[in-house]
Amino acid sequence: MDTISIRAPSVSPSGTKIRRSLRTRLPAAIALLPTALIVLVVYIGCMLWTVRLSFTSSTLLPKLDWFGVTQYTRLFANDRFVTSAENIFIFGALFISGCLIIGFLLAVFIDQNVRGEGLFRTIFLYPFSMSFVVTGVAWQWFLNPALGLQKLVRDMGFETFTFDWIVNQRMAIYTIVIAGLWHGSGLTMAIMLAGLRGVDKDLWKAAKIDGIPTWRVYTSVVLPLLRPMVVTAVVLLATGVVKLYDLVVAMTLGGPGIATEVPAKFVMDHLFERNNIGLGTAAATMMLITVVIVLAPWVYVRYVRPQGSHA
Amino acid sequence: MNAAEPQGRRPHRLTVGRIGVYAFLATSALFFLLPLWIMVMTSLKPMEEIRLGNILALPAAMTFEAWTKAWSSACTGLECNGISVGFWNSVRILIPSVILSIIAGAVNGYALSFWRVKGANVMFGILLLGAFIPYQVFLYPLVRIFSLTGVYNSLLCIVVVHVIFGLPTMTLLFRNYYAGLPLELFKAARIDGGGFWSIFFRVILPMSTPIIVVAAILQVTGIWNDFIFGLTFAGRQNLPMTVQLNNIVNSTQGERAYNVDMAATMLAALVPLVVYFVSGRWFVRGIAAGAVKG
Amino acid sequence: MSMKTRVSAYTLSVALVCSTGAFAQQKAEVLHWWTSAGESASVKVFADQFTKAGGTWVDNAIAGGVNARTAGINRMVGGNPPTMMQFNTGKQFDELVSNDLVRDVDAQAKAGKWREIMPKPIVEAAVRNGKFYAVPVNIHGQNWMFYNTKIFADAGLQPPKTFPELIETGEKLKAKGVIPIALGGQPTWEHNLFRAVLVGNGGAEMFRQFYGVRKPDVLKDPKFRQTVELFGKMRGLVDPASPGRNWNDATALVITNKAAMHFNGDWAKGEFTAAGQTPGKEYGCTLVGDTPKEVIGGDVFVFPATKDKAALETQDKLIQVLLDPATQLAFNIKKGSIPVRLDVDVSSMDVCAQRSSAVLKDPANQVEAMELLSPPNYSGAIQDAVTQYWNTPSMTVDTFIEKVSNAMRDAT
């Protein structure tokens, strides 16, 4: 999962005067040049290359013929891709909201001046450091009805207890969400905790004097103050959602059936395993378009448009 | 963390509420530790016991053999030296990649927040979108680009790749952090006649410690755990530890030693874990400084 | 992929890391995906023989065929290929051949009479445009049924000979509280089971039409429908906890007397061996079907094209080592497969290997594996259909056939 922090740039018209001179701005432009080249060659270049390949009949190696929109017709007729698209929205919604809620709660509770704070924090954060290839096996075992929780509870005498989501086509995607929450809420907790530590001390004093219950202060005063943190966390989690792959491969390999397939896995399988670069890049292009549609307005409002007033 | 004081109320007695707080934290900790418990238990059991499938049970015949095997004698092809083989390769990839990507992020962030360069924000917007694309899509064209320049399959190549893919995250982190710094400092430095680089080194960089630590932690985790870039771009002499880890845990048709798999995974995660633990206080305070102020 | 870029990229990477920088004579870098303990032991046989022959084996193991192939192809495209590289026999390497990325080894094949000593499906898989472009090193049977001898003895039952019989036997075992079939519930293994049923019940010809010629007519055959129904009935013989399970965990169920039967390739013997079990004793192996058809595939090595004379000589030496009869025997004993040369005496191998070798002596029993018949995008699409059918008991045979015919239409 990639990590990104985002907040609104501070708007300060007073800086305009200083930053006006073209001569002094030249070193800044030079400093940005390598990144600009990378954006141009690597990011834009690779995006265009991907889009171009989606209109070809490429299989194992890319070739630049013209295949029309055939790959897209195939893509939309492919029920695995359709399922993948549905799954990513289910997963995305539950994963992002779940991480925010759990992360926020953990942060609030950890912030109650508890003993062993460092220990708790490390426990909540450690899943982030581990490769999913094997932690996924541990989850797979625990969720498996014959090995894990269901067996444990039944062995304790509750013969009818059933927890078989991972082998159930309708429920399996939610087991991916559970493991995702395990992996992602620690980092969200850290970000939220950082936010809580930034809240003004006087605010707490004032609230205490006014006799407002602590939970009310958190929900009505602190939470709105944490807005930049929430945005940071959401973007960070969203990149993880779009790239979701390892987790699914380690836990279900897309199964039972195609119940837990996701778009990134569709792309990877077709690019590498199935030697179907044409279809794989068409799926990648669709993902790209979706991300652009969802994000472009936000990126524009936050980062591109403020140029005029900010600098 | 100790440096930043908690803001919550500070009860002095053990109240019902306090017990509730600890109960909640302990329950959550159990949930988080569950897979770790399974992994540790499995790593301490011999394979005969693992085959029986009692995943949560304590080992009947505890053995640390899997740990030593994972570190130094598990076979990963012809060589049977465990995951320790790639450790120094990983370190050699990690250090320059982390340093360079942080420098790149800091300079970009600084130029984007304090200097007005035409088109810079458009560039940044595209960079940000790039963070959402699965890396694998980039592999093939990048291989072509690098083989044209002649640096394909080298330490240099893998470092450059990590820097390229760290750019969106790093630039974003630093840009937001700098945007939160008081502009007065920058103005004063300009009036004193400071240029682009002298302000960066004398004024901005000394104030960047918290965000540098945050960036370092994020990059250490990402780069240390990277498998696909290392495999594709590093060249045979520089393959990182994750390649050995993958060789141990990911054989398609081979028999599987789960105890060694589990031990290897935990061993491989030690470096980022140590980094989290050691720099925890900076980590949290850094993010606060970057994203809450302003 | 000019010589110049190849050398410059290579020297640069060497110079950056090693202080030596000089090339040893007959140094061969070999890229493969044999990384488990048993696999490592088998690749060591090749390496040792190559060292004995005066070469230096530089091992480059990357687990997972997809990872290894991707890395290898990227390196060929990037102009810095290994000396020799493992590949899968079949359509997968068509494009390597048509893009001149691999070298033809037909001179060696003619000299070694490969066309006479290897089974026809394997020869066809390695030959393109009348020339050998790959060196096959082993034969893996993919449709073996492993069974727990104790469970069958205790139940007083015989291992089934045909699939209808298997359903009956399975129901009896189930009534006794045993898991009749241990299945790794991942798409790959569900698909492998489907193929075992297709070849065992539908026959070799139907298997070839389905995966090879891809004629929609085969889908209308009543025998095909019956096979799909039979496959569907097998759902009831698998325990409900199967989905997502690794194949190793499925084998473990047979090893620990929890399950009676397990369909897998002969590589599964490695898991039994690791648990200290011997074929013919704790477990048996058989081919289920009206006649014992064995679906065979195997591993091959390809040799990336090069103009470097020394590299070519090294490649020649490697080929000699790979197909030397004694090496073949030693390698395949470790690998769990059987020698690709059917002229090697296998009496020193285990009973399953001997059985496999005996079955393959009759060319009529040799059925080429799916990888040899279909491009990966087609077999992948079929896999999607099979796993949906297997996991959705309510799905009708007609829906399955419709999905398959769509796959036939769209595959390239």
**Spatial distance between the Cα atoms of B218 and B226, rounded to a whole number of angstroms:** 12
| Alpha carbons within 13 A on the beta-carbon side of A123 | 20
B128 and B207 share one domain: yes
Q: Is the pLDDT of residue B294 over 60?
A: no
B28 and B166 share one domain: no
Is C173 inside any structural domain? yes
Q: What is the pLDDT of residue C65?
A: 81
What is the DSSP code (8-state) at residue B86?
G
- Which of C35, C67, C270 has the CB atom closest to B231's CB atom? C67
Closest by Cα among B292, B131, B287, B114 to B194: B114
Q: Is the pLDDT of residue A173 over 70?
A: yes
Count residue pairs from A and B with Cβ separation < 8 A: 332
| Per-residue model confidence as pLDDT tens digits over C61-108 | 888 888 888 888 888 888 889 999 998 766 667 888 988 999 999 999
Domain extent, residue C284, equals 144-292+375-410
**C7, C40, C332: which to substitute to probe chain B, counting the most B Cβ within 10 Å?**
C40
Q: Is the pLDDT of residue A9 over 80?
A: no
Segment C286-305 shows an average pLDDT of 93
Q: Which residues contact C304 (CB under 8 A, 6 or more apart)?
A: C76, C81, C82, C83, C84, C85, C101, C102, C103
Across the interface, whether the CB atoms of A276 and C376 are under 8 A apart is answered yes
- The confidence band for A101, taking pLDDT boundaries of 50, 70 and 90, is very high
Across the interface, whether the CB atoms of A228 and B249 are under 8 A apart is answered no
| Per-residue model confidence as pLDDT tens digits over A194-247 | 778 767 777 778 888 888 888 888 888 888 877 767 877 787 788 889 888 888
Q: What is the pLDDT of residue B13?
A: 62
C351 and C406 share one domain: no
Q: Is the pLDDT of residue C33 over 70?
A: yes
B134 and B255 share one domain: yes
**Spatial distance between the Cα atoms of C161 and C184, rounded to a whole number of angstroms:** 22
Output the DSSP codes for C230-286: HHHHGGGGB-TT-BT--HHHHHHHHHTTSEEEEEE-GGGHHHHHHTT--BTTTEEEE
Locate A135 and state its tokens. 């932690």
Closest by Cα among A188, A190, A186 to A124: A186
ipTM surpasses 0.85: no
| Per-residue model confidence as pLDDT tens digits over B140-193 | 788 888 888 888 889 999 999 999 999 998 898 788 778 777 778 888 888 888
Q: Is the pLDDT of residue B27 over 50?
A: yes
- The confidence band for A305, taking pLDDT boundaries of 50, 70 and 90, is low
Is B4 inside any structural domain? yes
Question: How many percent of chain C have pLDDT more than 90?
Answer: 72
Q: What is the pLDDT of residue B203?
A: 87
B143 and B197 share one domain: yes
**Domains of chain A and any CATH numbers:** 13-310 (1.10.3720.10)
The residue ranking higher by pLDDT, C388 or B53, is C388
Question: How many percent of chain B have pLDDT more than 70?
Answer: 89
Is B75 inside any structural domain? no
Q: Is the pLDDT of residue C4 over 80?
A: no
Q: What is the pLDDT of residue C153?
A: 96
In chain A, residues with a C-beta closer than 8 Å to the C-beta of C187 are 253-255
Q: What is the pLDDT of residue C171?
A: 96
- Which of B117, B177, B292 has the CB atom closest to A25's CB atom? B117
Determine how many CB atoms are found less than 10 A away from the CB of residue A79: 15
Across the interface, whether the CB atoms of C63 and B255 are under 8 A apart is answered no
Q: What is the pLDDT of residue A304?
A: 65
Q: Judging by DSSP bridges, how do beta strands C84-88 and C299-302 pair with one another?
A: antiparallel
Output the DSSP codes for A12-77: -GGGTTTT--HHHHHHHHHHHHHHHHHIIIIIIHHHHHHHHHTTS---SS------TTHHHHHHHH
Q: Are C257 and C175 in contact (CB under 8 A)?
A: no
Domain extent, residue B50, equals 1-63
Locate B55 and state its tokens. 């995943």
- The confidence band for C9, taking pLDDT boundaries of 50, 70 and 90, is very low
Q: What is the pLDDT of residue B245?
A: 87
Neighbours of chain A (3+ CB pairs under 8 A): B, C
Segment A173-181 shows an average pLDDT of 94
Across the interface, whether the CB atoms of B287 and A194 are under 8 A apart is answered yes
B216 and B258 share one domain: yes
> Which DSSP helix (H) or strand (E) runs through A207?
helix A201-210
| Per-residue model confidence as pLDDT tens digits over C363-388 | 999 999 998 888 888 999 999 999 99
C334 and C200 share one domain: no
Q: Is the pLDDT of residue A24 over 80?
A: no
Residue C22 sits at the chain B interface (C-beta within 8 Å):
no
In chain C, residues with a C-beta closer than 8 Å to the C-beta of A75 are none
**Spatial distance between the Cα atoms of C220 and C410, rounded to a whole number of angstroms:** 19
Is B39 inside any structural domain? yes
Q: Which residue carries 């690749």 as its tokens?
A: C43
Q: What is the pLDDT of residue A306?
A: 59
Q: Is the pLDDT of residue B235 over 70?
A: yes
Provide the greatest CA pair distance for chain B. Answer: 75
Is C302 inside any structural domain? yes
Across the interface, whether the CB atoms of A274 and C99 are under 8 A apart is answered no
Across the interface, whether the CB atoms of C80 and B249 are under 8 A apart is answered no
Q: Is the pLDDT of residue C24 over 70?
A: no
Least confident of A41-45, C228-232, C315-319: A41-45
Q: Is the pLDDT of residue B292 over 50?
A: no
Amino acid identity for residue B45 in this structure: K
Q: What is the pLDDT of residue B289?
A: 47
Q: What is the pLDDT of residue C363?
A: 93
C231 and C220 share one domain: yes
Of B34, B63, B92, the residue that ends a domain is: B63
- When divided into structural domains, chain B yields a total of 2
- Which of A146, A259, A274 has the CB atom closest to C380's CB atom? A274
Closest by Cα among C71, A112, C395, A32 to B120: A32
Q: What is the pLDDT of residue C166?
A: 97
The residue ranking higher by pLDDT, C392 or C64, is C392
Mean pLDDT for all residues in chain B: 83
For residue B237, the distance in angstroms to the closest alpha carbon of chain A comes to 23
C68 and C180 share one domain: no
- Which of C37, C61, C79 has the CB atom closest to B257's CB atom? C37
Q: Are A201 and B7 in contact (CB under 8 A)?
A: yes
For residue C109, the distance in angstroms to the closest alpha carbon of chain B comes to 27
- The confidence band for A288, taking pLDDT boundaries of 50, 70 and 90, is confident
Segment A127-131 shows an average pLDDT of 83
Q: What is the pLDDT of residue A310?
A: 40
Q: What is the pLDDT of residue C15?
A: 36
In chain A, residues with a C-beta closer than 8 Å to the C-beta of C70 are 272
3-class SS of residue A124: helix
Is B73 inside any structural domain? no
C357 and C312 share one domain: yes
C386 and C280 share one domain: yes
CATH of the domain at C115: 3.40.190.10
- When divided into structural domains, chain C yields a total of 2
Determine how many CB atoms are found less than 10 A away from the CB of residue A209: 8
Amino acid identity for residue C151 in this structure: I
Across the interface, whether the CB atoms of A256 and C99 are under 8 A apart is answered no
B13 and B92 share one domain: no
**Spatial distance between the Cα atoms of A240 and A255, rounded to a whole number of angstroms:** 20
Least confident of B280-289, C14-23, C28-37: C14-23
Q: What is the pLDDT of residue C10?
A: 35
The residue ranking higher by pLDDT, B220 or B289, is B220
Residue C71 sits at the chain B interface (C-beta within 8 Å):
yes
Cis before C393? omega within 30: no
| Alpha carbons within 13 A on the beta-carbon side of A247 | 28
3-class SS of residue A147: coil
Is C368 inside any structural domain? no
Q: What is the pLDDT of residue A291?
A: 87
Segment A50-71 shows an average pLDDT of 89
Is C366 inside any structural domain? no
Q: Which residues contact C7 (CB under 8 A, 6 or more apart)?
A: none
CATH of the domain at B233: 1.10.3720.10
Q: Which residues contact B55 (CB under 8 A, 6 or more apart)?
A: A138, A141, A142, A147, A148, B38, B41, B42
Question: How many percent of chain A have pLDDT more than 70?
Answer: 88
- Which of A60, A164, A167 has the CB atom closest to C95's CB atom? A60
Q: What is the pLDDT of residue C149?
A: 96
Q: What is the pLDDT of residue C55?
A: 92
B172 and B251 share one domain: yes
- The confidence band for C184, taking pLDDT boundaries of 50, 70 and 90, is very high
